[in-house]
Amino acid sequence: MSNASALTKPKWSKRKRKEALWAYLFIAPTLLGLFVFYMMPALASFGLSFTNWNGITPPQFIGLDNIVRLFQSGSFIRTLINTFVFTVVSVPMAVILATGIAVLLNQKIKGMVVYRTIYFLPMVTMPVAVGMVWKWLYNTDYGLLNYLLGLLHLPQPAWLFNPNIALLSVIAVYVWMTVGNNIILILAGLQGISQTYYEAAQIDGASKFKQLIKITIPLLTPTLFFVFITGMISSLQVFDLIFIMIGDSHVLLEPLRTLVYGVYESGFEYSQMGYASAQAFLLFLAILTVTIAQFAFQKKWVHYDG
């Protein structure tokens, strides 16, 4: 049988083994970097989450005290809720908006490259710069946004100060910042859909809208799945934007404190490395759970072409 060799352990020729060795050599720098800068700190952080450590004197083992303390603290629960709301609102918004724009950008009209570039620009801008600029735009008394609203005689809200809308204000900026990346990915997905489906649909007399619902969206689901997963992972870790926009004001932080902000604050501002590690570890578990759930759920809605 031709596949008998696949059942037994393959015997590699000397040449093949040498090739494999070279392959390992080529990935070695990345692998080592990954190990030294990601795996080792992650493992260390896991170990530290069971300790009380101020970063200077030796850590003391305190078992699960950090975790217990976390769930007893009202501010951690608040943090969890904030992060959850942030993700649940921002990711679908960014994906839906991106899909709409990508469909519009997936046409043959003049100057399309310019439009695509414009939509992608926020993505290649540093989050720090984005945060700074939006902080000024949002300024209640001197900001551009409220100036324009004032010209139109509309109410001028305190975007970052009203606890009811502060989170939404930051979500808007986050969506604005990430939508460009989603557009590029979805655009690539759209262009991967074979024209033959549309031709067939046209012959059958399907409207443009029907085509979108019955062909484009289903065939786009693998891309959407990818965009959703990566989007969720990064929005669960949101930090830089919030740090820049309201970071130095403790009073404004309450409605906006996210999980990673909590990690930063405990670890680097209050020097409670063990407590911070425990939060980081819980965040890791949360992201892992969400991602596994999404993979389990994907059978229900993701269609792979062919």
Partner 1 sequence: MGKTLHIVLLIVISAVILAGCGTNTGSDDNTLEVALWDEKISGAVDASIEEFNKEHPDVEVKVTYTPYANYFTKLRTSLGGGSGPDVFWMNGPNFYEYATFGLIKDLEPFIEKDSEFSKDVYFDSVIDLYSHEGHLYAAPYFSDIVGLFYNKRLFDEAGLDYPDETWTWDDIKEKGELLTNKEAGIYGYSASVVSNQAGYYNLIPQAGGYMINEEKTKSGFDSPETREALHFVKDLIDEGIAPTVQTQIESNPRDLFMSGLIAIHPEISVNAEMFYSELGDDLGVAPLPAGKEEATITHGIGWAMNGDTEKEELAWELIKHLSGEKGNQFIAETGFSIPAQEDMSDLWVESIPGLDLQVFIDAQEVAYPYPLSQNTIQWQDIEQAEIQGAFLGYKSIDEALDNVAKEMNLILDTEQID
Per CB under 8 A, residues contacting partner 1 are: 18, 21-22, 24-25, 28-29, 32-33, 36-37, 54-57, 139-142, 158, 160-161, 163, 247-253, 268-271
Q: What's the distance, CA 28 to chain centroid?
A: 28
Residue at token pair 């993701």: 302
Q: How far apart are CA 273 and CA 54, in angstroms?
A: 6
To partner 1, the closest distance from the beta carbon of 39 in angstroms equals: 12
Q: Determine the Cα–Cα distance for residues 195 and 211; give it in Å rounded to an integer.
A: 11
Of 203 and 251, CB closest to partner 1? 251
Residue closer to partner 1 by CB (options 158, 286) is 158
Residues with Cβ within 8 Å of 271's Cβ and at least 6 positions away in sequence, in order, are: 54, 55, 56
Q: Cβ of residue 259: shortest distance to partner 1, in angstroms?
A: 19
DSSP 8-state secondary structure symbol assigned to residue 265? I
> In whole angstroms, how close is the CB of 238 to partner 1 at the nearest point?
19
- Decide whether 140 or 221 has the Cβ nearer to partner 1: 140
Q: Minimum distance from CB of 250 to partner 1 (Å)? A: 4
Q: Determine contact, residues 119/179, Cβ cutoff 8 Å.
A: yes
Nearer to partner 1, 271 or 289 (CB): 271
User: Closest CB to partner 1 among 3 and 30?
Assistant: 30
Query: What are residue 24's phi and psi, to 5 degrees?
Result: -60, -40
DSSP string, 116-139: HHHHHHHHHS-HHHHHHHHHHHH-
Give just the sign of the alpha carbon dihedral 252, 255, 261, 264. positive
Closest distance between partner 1 and the C-beta of residue 252, in Å?
Answer: 7
Calculate the alpha carbon distances from 79 to 4, 135, 263, 268 in Å. Answer: 57, 22, 10, 17
CA pair distance 247, 127, nearest whole angstrom: 14
Least distance (Å) from partner 1 to the CB of residue 40? 8
CA distance 58 to 62: 13
- Please state, in angstroms and rounded to a whole number, the distance separating the CA atoms of residues 123 and 285: 28
Minimum CB separation from partner 1 for residue 141, in Å? 5
Q: Minimum Å distance from CB 216 to partner 1?
A: 44
66 close to 278: Cβ distance less than 8 angstroms:
yes
Closer to partner 1 by Cβ: residue 8 or 57: 57
The smaller minimum CB distance to partner 1, of residues 104 and 132, is found at 132
- How far apart CA 162 and CA 168 sit, in angstroms, is 10
Closest to partner 1 by CB, 91 vs 253, is 253
